[in-house]
Amino acid sequence: MSPMDNPARAASDLTAHGAPAHASRTPARDSIDGLRRAGRRALLAAFLGFFVDMFDIYLPVVVLAPAMVYFEPDSLSPVLKSTLYYIVFALSLVGRPAGSAIFGHLSDKIGRRKVTVISMAGFAVVTLLIGLLPGYEQWGPASMALLVAMRFVDGVFLGGEYTGANPLAMEYAPKEQRGLWSACIHTGFPLALVAMSLLTISLLNRIPSDTRHSAYAVWGWRIPFFVGALLAFCVLVYFVRCVPESPVWRAATKVKAPLLELFRGANRRIFVQIFLVMTGIWFMLNAVTPVLPGVLLTVRHASSLTVTYAQLISNLVLAASFVPFGLLGQKIGRRTILWLFGLAGCTAGPLFYTLLVRSGFKSNAELILLVTLVNLCAIPVWSNITAYLNERFSTGVRASGFGVGYGAAMLLPAFSSVYMLGLKGLGIPYEYTEIVILALGGLLTLIGALLGPETRHVDIA
């Protein structure tokens, strides 16, 4: 079969190796150029979609942290406040596996593009509605119940965004550049946290935030939610107007029941290994990104502004690290990157975390440095995840495998705050319990990675 019989593969080869400068314009050449343009649009859309996804999912971590008093009674203890703060975030994670299963199945059946459009419209609307919620003094416990319920629904729709957009982009990606593309997409994660931190710092510096009736607690936190909803609508419009369906998916034989096929034969064995790896990676992330700010605020009593600055600087460093680690994964192997970060997560990460908790925050510079080092031991592994997961599954079940493998593994780590309370009951000081969670995540990641194969040479078509 000639390259022109498979234009998607031909486009990949030309994108990776370059086309001769003297190549003449032919219908086949125009078709390949069109595929390359479509691929770049799919990559940009996946990055923007993931940026908005991460902006939305971490709104409670960065934006609501200084405003949770608006939804809570005054009588809660610091530990219960920290736990409730994390549960609001965790419910979004619990909704994502359901969304991944539903939309992953649909993505394999009706197309990556349609699923992305539907899911983005859903979480844009829900994010807007959350920004309109009243507080505890207006509706009592119902205000917190609605916040939790709407975050769960938000999570369901968020589970569909990456399930459609990321496989679509990977199916356009040249084999030699999949590590780079994967890293570029996931750079949306730290950049979203940077954007939220900047917006939150700007608000905290301009309006009061120290009481239930302060301007930030009453209305300031709503602004980032409205911004998140607007961003989602804008990316939705770009996706509808500019991003075509994956040619790899269009050309593939469709599976009657992708979700069922995922749990049969070889697919089931692949899924079990992926589930182990991703469970570890989610434990590492949850021990750092959502839990650490709450511990610093409610247990170590660092100021909201200091914690937000620490998140801003650490995520700027993370954003700069993703592409180098993506390129490194393309060179030495994604499996190698996974087990190296698993090792760091159960050795160096807990050491830096212990120093952070014990430091007493003698200086803001020390706090920011340690927060950054802890993040670097756990988070950049995500730079290789989109490529690795999509390379593990065939086209007929790729979105289901990627979505459910990515999403279902959130379930156990999503309740890290509950495990932390259990560890506290066993006599471990509460501020140290998240260190145990981080080490567990690193160990699971290390074992899962060593059980799987290398994937960077896989033909994704």
Q: Cβ distance 185 to 46 under 8 Å?
A: yes
At residue 26, the pLDDT reads: 65
Whether the predicted pLDDT of 376 surpasses 90: yes
**Type of residue at 13:** D
Q: Report CA 160 to chain centroid distance, whole Å.
A: 12
Average pLDDT over residues 22-47: 76
**Type of residue at 5:** D
Whether the predicted pLDDT of 233 surpasses 70: yes
Q: Cβ distance 364 to 342 under 8 Å?
A: no
Report pTM.
Answer: 0.83
CB atoms within 10 A of CB 75: 6
Q: Which two tokens stand for residue 428?
A: 């471990």
Average pLDDT over residues 224-235: 93
At residue 72, the pLDDT reads: 77
Q: Cβ distance 134 to 114 under 8 Å?
A: no
Whether the predicted pLDDT of 8 surpasses 70: no
Q: Please, what is the average pLDDT of the chain?
A: 87
Quick one: pLDDT band at residue 217, thresholds 50, 70, 90? confident
Whether the predicted pLDDT of 175 surpasses 90: yes
User: Yes or no: is domain 36-451 CATH 3.90.480.10?
Assistant: no
Q: Count how many residues are written for the chain.
A: 461
pLDDT digits (tens, 9 = 90+) for 388-417: 999 999 999 999 999 999 989 988 998 888
Whether the predicted pLDDT of 447 surpasses 90: yes
Whether the predicted pLDDT of 379 surpasses 50: yes
Whether the predicted pLDDT of 454 surpasses 70: yes
* Most confident region among 17-31, 71-85, 302-316 by mean pLDDT: 302-316
Can you give the three-state secondary structure of the chain, one letter per residue?
CCHHHCHHHHHHHHHHHCCCCCCCCCHHHHHHHHHHHHHHHHHHHHHHHHHHHHHHHCHHHHHHHHHHHHCCCCCCCHHHHHHHHHHHHHHHHHHHHHHHHHHHHHHHHHCHHHHHHHHHHHHHHHHHHHCCCCCHHHHCHHHHHHHHHHHHHHHHHHHHHHHHHHHHHHHHCCHHHHHHHHHHHHCHHHHHHHHHHHHHHHHHHHCCCCCCCCHHHHHHCHHHHHHHHHHHHHHHHHHHHHCCCCHHHHHCCCCCCHHHHCCCHHHHHHHHHHHHHHHHHHHHHHHHCCHHHHHHHHCCCCCHHHHHHHHHHHHHHHHHHHHHHHHHHHHHCHHHHHHHHHHHHCCHHHHHHHHHHHCCCCCHHHHHHHHHHHHHHHCHHHHHHHHHHHHHCCHHHHHHHHHHHHHHCCHHHHCHHHHHHHHHHCCCCHHHHHHHHHHHHHHHHHHHHHHCCCCCCCCCC
Percent of the chain with pLDDT over 90: 56
Domain residue ranges of the chain, discontinuous segments joined by +: 36-451
Whether the predicted pLDDT of 25 surpasses 80: no
Over the range 295-305, which residues count as b (16 or more CB within 10 Å of their CB) and which as e? bbbbbeebbbe
Considering only 78-82, 106-110, 219-223, which range has the smallest mean pLDDT? 78-82
Average pLDDT over residues 9-14: 43
Residue 68, CA distances (Å) to 2, 8, 93, 123, 226 in order:
61, 49, 19, 21, 17
Q: Which two tokens stand for residue 106?
A: 């649909």
Q: Cβ distance 375 to 314 under 8 Å?
A: yes
Quick one: pLDDT band at residue 364, thresholds 50, 70, 90? confident
pLDDT digits (tens, 9 = 90+) for 251-272: 999 999 999 999 999 999 999 9
At residue 23, the pLDDT reads: 46
Percent of the chain with pLDDT over 70: 90
Q: Report CA 150 to chain centroid distance, whole Å.
A: 19
Average pLDDT over residues 354-381: 87
Average pLDDT over residues 159-180: 94
Considering only 49-58, 77-86, 99-108, 448-457, which range has the smallest mean pLDDT? 77-86
Q: Which two tokens stand for residue 53?
A: 């996804």
